[in-house]
Structure 1
């Protein structure tokens, strides 16, 4: 039985918009919104929030536990070590990487990524031509643990968990899914990096709520109706 674990990166010490994962979006924190969307997936068996041991991230742990998911706390700078620790603790076969500043993470892309990785016996699956903030990354726990043992890792590799994969594509079985949407919508952004992004996200969630989209499930609604591009 293959075990799929989703790891949501979260911290309060964002340089551009500090504390953004605790911002309110229609009655829930941004972090809770991300957790809710991962819970919609069909392929994820377990969810962890990965945060730091810094005191300011106590609140991140509290929100994670209140949301019914697990929390792992480790190095602020060495994010890779948080992922590999979770891989070992959870006995994961496959890891899904999601960041807590993407409250419209697309659940269907997670399921497609997991299925593609399994069906094609890949090490890593990513997405292109999707809105910034909609996609996730899927990779095997075994290859990430191998990467962690490398002696040639840089600070960039430790901070950006999956960077070693695409810096050494000749060493891994990698696939980027580029045709999920009929058109290239990579120019659209639904991540929250700035105050303006946050204002837009509140607006988008109001649209979803107003139109009663079931469980706020799918980005397709926003793409087809032009709600992102016309904002």
Structure 2
């Protein structure tokens, strides 16, 4: 079984409640789920959130949408993913691969998801992504992890950043077979993720103009739209990529200094 886990919570530091913000009349999280479900290879979608009371709204919404939810650790997201897999496998077949999508990707592309998964399946890779190095727009990030690699990382990871961001241990360790897919042209300078108010303004404009219930827009549709609206990209273009992970790495460094 190939499972997509969408990592979502209300307590985002830079943009609280972002996963329930409105885009064209629907919450951000609804759009992410809707786009992920268009993947041809993902056999199940689960939302993994935290046990904090503020995340009850996520659980309630997902129940309404018919999407299973697991609530686990707030800080140890790697453990949350492992516990979510155990929860999901009760009475079901064992998971082979996990597709990891985060709650800041309302423009996620199901065709890119399928490309990453097909690459993983082609040679039984432990980990495949389109982010290492990135050549796709920030916000189209896809990681596919084998069940074995995920649980090995959970047992062996020691740094805070390795637990807070799920895949750093796998990406750094030589014990896993890894691969990265690339875009035909480098689009890594484009910021399509939802992490700040400026990002929301940018993505909201895209949804206002492109989203229609009867027709899902594609990555190429967004690129064409931005070509005709070049000033829109200036809203959030100066925000650095991967702010959260860089913050965790800085905390790791600080803790190591304290321990020595």
What TM-score, normalized to structure 1?
0.91
- The answer to whether the 8 Å contact 1:204/1:228 transfers is no
Question: What is residue 117 of structure 1 aligned with on the other side?
Answer: 120
Structure having greater relative contact order (Cα 8 Å, sep ≥ 6): 1
Matched, 1:4 2:2: yes
In the TM superposition, what are the counterparts of 1:130-209 in structure 2 within 5 Å?
Answer: 130-150=136-156, 152-168=157-173, 170-178=174-182, 180=183, 182-209=184-211
Unaligned runs of 5+ in 2: 233-260
Bigger drift between 6-15 and 140-149 goes to: 140-149
Q: Which runs of 5+ in 1 are unaligned?
A: none
Tell me, yes or no, if the aligned pair for 2:149 and 2:170 is still in contact at 8 Å: no
Q: Which structure has the larger Rg?
A: 2
Output the CA distance in 2 between the equivalents of 1:62 and 1:174: 37
8 Å CA contact 1:41, 1:111 repeated in 2 = yes
Secondary structure of the 1:214 match is coil
CA contact (8 A) 2:116 2:128 kept: yes
For residue 213 of structure 1, report the CA deviation from its aligned partner. Answer: 8.0
Residue 111 of structure 2, aligned match among 100, 108, 112: 108
2:85 corresponds in structure 1 to 87
Find the aligned partners of 2:207 and 2:227 in 1 and give their Cα distance.
Answer: 11
d(CA) in 2 for partners of 1:154 and 1:227? 42
In terms of fraction of residues, the more helix-rich structure is 2
Return the alpha-carbon distance in structure 1 between the equivalents of residues 161 and 101 of structure 2.
18
| Residue 46 of structure 1 pairs with residue 47 of structure 2 | no
1:23 alignment partner in structure 2 = 21
Report if the CA contact (8 A) 1:13-1:19 is conserved.
yes
Q: Shift in Å at residue 223 of structure 1?
A: 2.0
CA root-mean-square deviation: 1.7
Distance 2:147 2:51 in 1: 23
Aligned residues: 223
Deviations along 1:187-230, whole A, 9 cap, x unmatched?
A: 001111111111111111122137x88323x2122224435971
After the TM superposition, which parts of structure 1 deviate over 6 Å for at least 4 consecutive aligned residues? none
Q: 1:49 to 1:183 in 2, by over 3 A?
A: same
